Structure 1
Amino acid sequence: MNAFVSLSEPSAAQDPALPGSDVLRRLTETIAQGASERDQQRIHPYEAVGLLRQARYGALRLPREHAGGGATLRQLLGSVLELAAADSNVAHVLRNHFSFVERFVLPAPGQAPSRWLDAVAQGAIFGVAAGELSTAAVGDGSLDTTVVPDPAGGWRLNGIKFYSTGSLYADYVAVRASLPDGHAATAVVPVDRAGVRLDDDWFGMGQRLTGTGTTRLTDVHLTGDELLLDRDGHDYRIPYSSAIAQLFLTTVNAGILRAVQHEAVALVKRRGDRNFAHGLAARPEDDPVLQQEIGEIASAAFAAEATVLAAADALDRVAESRQRGAHDRELALQGALAASKAKVVVDSLTLRAATQLFDVGGASAATQRYNLDRHWRNARTLASHNPASLKARLLGQYEVHGTPLPTGGFF
């Protein structure tokens, strides 16, 4: 296991590790150390996530007056892209945290700060347990997990969740559940609460270390303020409110593409004087064909980053509108369109580049010691979240007929 450097302990007056800061640069470089080894040997990145917690990375989106970084979504996702280039598993761990912050933590106009804002400001990380394997239509909102009143006060939570990404490393887990009256709610509980069990049973071919396993909830007690009712404004049915979560995954894929670019350059240099017999130069790094491959990969990385940031700008406009107390449906639709188009383009670019990487290195690049296949495996796994073919069809339907995109279902 690689050694991690120590960063100074955060204080209430110290900013989070801001995008572009030396602190964040050093943090990202540290997390990059041993990323391949962790992936190959399934070594969980507890220390890496601990460094992010210590640096209060999860507070980047909080307003400065609430001890946050005051980052825009463009700044946040630019930072996430860099983190994903260092270790896509670690970046993915934070997807549900920042989704929780957007939906439940950022203070609305005239609204008192929640207890969760203070927790995030102090460095706490939140995971989410929403999906259930018993649901036939993924993301349709139906829930077998239940929360019922506790005669002694508060509530009791029971259920089984899968795809609990990030919860294995989190301080709190946000659980979607159904109330006796049929309405939905989000229960927010500490992961060490009695009755909460996090199973490390995610064995995907890629993104192996995201903690995307099963959360089992057995008669978990909730206090009154740990249950957030949809009808109190925390409604998952707000049109297109999941676009940020979708763009986050696309950003991680763009980060993988940047990592592929770096790997391609290192790979061709590592080959020294050993080139194919029919190569066009004695040294691989001077071979115009290999140079072209790397140029195409670098161009794809540039395009992916530009696409993600353009979509982030669209979602920033939506966020700014909501912070003013408005819910502009057309603006939200435009943000969802931008996020969807970004996925269709970036997933394709990343998967193609992850394959081109082996054209740069030849057969020796396929040896397990380099673990270069992790980039394709990780990108393919991320791209499998809501397949791009479904996105593309509905984008085409919008262009031809003006049909709005689906408003929910984590579209």
Structure 2
Amino acid sequence: MVNQKQEANHQEPPTFTLSKPIKAGSHELDVLLAKIAENAEKRRSSGNGSHPFYAIDLIKQSRLGALRIPVEMGGGGASLRDLFKVVILLAEKDSDVAHILRTHYGFVDEALLTPNTELNQMIITRAAQGEIFGNASTEISSRNVGDANYVFETTVSPDGEGYRLNGTKSFCTGTYYADWVGVRASNLEGTTVTVFVPTNREGVELEDDWDGIGQRWTGSGTTRFKNVFVYPYELVENGAEFTSNYFLQLYLQAIMAGILRNVVSDASKLVLQRSRTFSHGAASSALEDPQIQQIIGQLSSNAFAAEAIVLSAADAQDMVFNSATDGVKNNDLIHNASLQAAQTKVIIEDFAFKAATQLFDVGGASAATKSKNLDRHWRNLRTLASHNPAMYKARAIGNYVVNGTRLPLNRYF
């Protein structure tokens, strides 16, 4: 089987040439986001949609994936707060594209904690050059979530001067578009390791078989590894927590905050484009109807709150990163960051789905037409929220508040 992504059909040759990696808050970032938004609209209007190859190529050319890497190491020098703000803006334009980069930024951030190892130097260097890292972690054939010891059916076994990787992974978000993939596996002793291999290496097979109701074009499909060779420097021992749980969780909430911004803009467009209003409305035009204005005001307030909460929780993650010594993080700060990420998820999901439904109240029956595709917001939000249900987060938060029991720190919480 060949990699399915070889059938890429770019809508136009992407060009985005910069002498330096793109930075948060820059004019170049605004231009990049505008191009991605335009491409997203084209893909949505083509019927069932299509892969965002064009947008990913722009991201690689602009080296947006190097946003967090220090300037002196060839990156954009952004803080975590800066990064999450960019993710929100990117998700507003195209939530699929923002989601594709989730584990990439997670891998880069962990590599920056101890940048002098051979593997981490490789990750940082490749990211600074514009390359993207995907993930291959979940196995639907084995139960690992919540277990104290992770044992994977995907294995790494010695072979001469290196290793051989074999196994099948599901829900590999972003890997379909990535240059490298980080794979969690077990060695012969049953210890969890993480290996990083190029997606075009012999034996790596990528499938875009994700059929979710939302986040349709994230490439969250199946990845197979058939006797893939792994060089010694591409493997890290004790790789169970290579990416931080609080980072991965808050990243999803940043995408949801971006979608809520898009809900506001779509609601405004609906009203501005309406030539008639409800026969029993409170004004002669939708523009002047105070109840419609109230709904849009509520939607705008929801989007503002979501963004503010995400950025506040991002500050806690900056504290973890900036206080780390020789790659070792402060456990109290880790728990605080995890707590805030969990609280962010609980509260944003409390109003996000309602907002995606209220959007239809400003547009009448025509808002429900398939061509407008406004149901995508609810479907995307619902899919994102399905990562680690909020009910478990809320229970753990309550247990901590009442009994002082700390939150679980495994990557799935």
Q: Deviations over 1:65-110 (max 9, x none)?
A: 101111111000000100000000000000010111122x215277
Following the alignment from structure 2 to structure 1, what is the Cα–Cα distance between the partners of residues 389 and 143?
17
> Which of 240, 245, 251 does residue 242 from structure 1 map onto?
245
Following the alignment from structure 2 to structure 1, what is the Cα–Cα distance between the partners of residues 213 and 265?
23
Sequence identity percentage: 48
Instruction: Specify the alignment match of 2:255 in structure 1.
Output: 252
1:109 and 1:323 in contact (8 A); partners too: no
Instruction: Specify the alignment match of 2:217 in structure 1.
Output: 209
Following the alignment from structure 1 to structure 2, what is the Cα–Cα distance between the partners of residues 46 and 90?
9
Following the alignment from structure 1 to structure 2, what is the Cα–Cα distance between the partners of residues 109 and 53?
21
Report the CA distance between 1:347 and its aligned residue. 2.0
Instruction: Specify the alignment match of 2:6 in structure 1.
Output: none
* Greater alpha carbon shift after TM alignment, 39-48 vs 289-298: 39-48
Q: Secondary structure at the match of 2:387?
A: coil
Instruction: Specify the alignment match of 2:75 in structure 1.
Output: 68
Following the alignment from structure 1 to structure 2, what is the Cα–Cα distance between the partners of residues 115 and 314?
28
Q: Secondary structure at the match of 2:211?
A: coil
Report the CA distance between 1:111 and its aligned residue. 5.5
- 1:183 and 2:188 equivalent? no
Following the alignment from structure 1 to structure 2, what is the Cα–Cα distance between the partners of residues 8 and 326?
37
Structure 1 segment 276-355 matched on structure 2, within 5 A:
276-322=278-324, 325-355=327-357
2:100 and 2:218 in contact (8 A); partners too: yes
Instruction: Specify the alignment match of 1:138 in structure 2.
Output: 145
Report the CA distance between 1:315 and its aligned residue. 0.7
Q: Secondary structure at the match of 1:124?
A: coil
Q: Secondary structure at the match of 1:76?
A: helix
> Which of 94, 114, 129 does residue 101 from structure 2 map onto?
94
Instruction: Specify the alignment match of 1:57 in structure 2.
Output: 64
Following the alignment from structure 1 to structure 2, what is the Cα–Cα distance between the partners of residues 114 and 404?
34
Instruction: Specify the alignment match of 1:27 in structure 2.
Output: 32
- After TM superposition, the score normalised by the length of structure 2 is 0.93
Decide whether aligned partners of structure 1 residues 98 and 164 sit closer, same or farther in structure 2, where only a CA change above 3 A counts.
Answer: same
Q: Secondary structure at the match of 2:256?
A: helix
- 1:106 and 2:112 equivalent? yes
Matched to 1:120, the amino acid is A
Structure 1 consecutive aligned stretches of length 4 or more whose deviation exceeds 6 Å = none
Following the alignment from structure 1 to structure 2, what is the Cα–Cα distance between the partners of residues 358 and 36?
19
Report the CA distance between 1:6 and its aligned residue. 4.7
Report the CA distance between 1:203 and its aligned residue. 0.6
Report the CA distance between 1:142 and its aligned residue. 2.5
Report the CA distance between 1:323 and its aligned residue. 5.2
2:207 and 2:221 in contact (8 A); partners too: yes
Report the CA distance between 1:35 and its aligned residue. 1.9
Query: Alignment length, in residue pairs?
Result: 400
Q: Secondary structure at the match of 1:205?
A: coil
Instruction: Specify the alignment match of 1:41 in structure 2.
Output: 48
Decide whether aligned partners of structure 1 residues 328 and 173 sit closer, same or farther in structure 2, where only a CA change above 3 A counts.
Answer: same
> Which of 255, 268, 271 does residue 268 from structure 1 map onto?
271
2:310 and 2:344 in contact (8 A); partners too: yes
Decide whether aligned partners of structure 1 residues 5 and 160 sit closer, same or farther in structure 2, where only a CA change above 3 A counts.
Answer: closer
Following the alignment from structure 2 to structure 1, what is the Cα–Cα distance between the partners of residues 12 and 321?
35
Q: Deviations over 1:109-132 (max 9, x none)?
A: 776761221111101100000000
> Which of 148, 163, 183 does residue 155 from structure 1 map onto?
163
Report the CA distance between 1:328 and its aligned residue. 1.2
Q: Secondary structure at the match of 1:182?
A: coil
Following the alignment from structure 2 to structure 1, what is the Cα–Cα distance between the partners of residues 158 and 219?
30
Q: Secondary structure at the match of 2:324?
A: helix
Q: Secondary structure at the match of 2:167?
A: strand
2:321 and 2:329 in contact (8 A); partners too: no
> Which of 361, 364, 383 does residue 363 from structure 2 map onto?
361
Following the alignment from structure 1 to structure 2, what is the Cα–Cα distance between the partners of residues 129 and 209?
17
Matched to 2:208, the amino acid is D
1:36 and 1:371 in contact (8 A); partners too: no
Following the alignment from structure 1 to structure 2, what is the Cα–Cα distance between the partners of residues 111 and 176?
19
Instruction: Specify the alignment match of 2:130 in structure 1.
Output: 123
Following the alignment from structure 1 to structure 2, what is the Cα–Cα distance between the partners of residues 184 and 84?
32
* Greater alpha carbon shift after TM alignment, 54-63 vs 401-410: 401-410
Instruction: Specify the alignment match of 1:229 in structure 2.
Output: 237
Report the CA distance between 1:225 and its aligned residue. 1.0
Following the alignment from structure 1 to structure 2, what is the Cα–Cα distance between the partners of residues 91 and 354?
19
Matched to 1:169, the amino acid is Y
Q: Secondary structure at the match of 1:390?
A: helix
Measured on the aligned residues, the alpha-carbon RMSD in Å equals 1.8
Report the CA distance between 1:8 and its aligned residue. 3.9
Q: Secondary structure at the match of 1:106?
A: helix
2:113 and 2:321 in contact (8 A); partners too: no
Matched to 1:196, the amino acid is V
Q: Deviations over 1:365-396 (max 9, x none)?
A: 00011000001100110001001111111111
Decide whether aligned partners of structure 1 residues 4 and 318 sit closer, same or farther in structure 2, where only a CA change above 3 A counts.
Answer: farther
- After TM superposition, the score normalised by the length of structure 1 is 0.93
1:108 and 1:323 in contact (8 A); partners too: no
Q: Deviations over 1:237-277 (max 9, x none)?
A: 48x921101100110000000000000011111112x1111
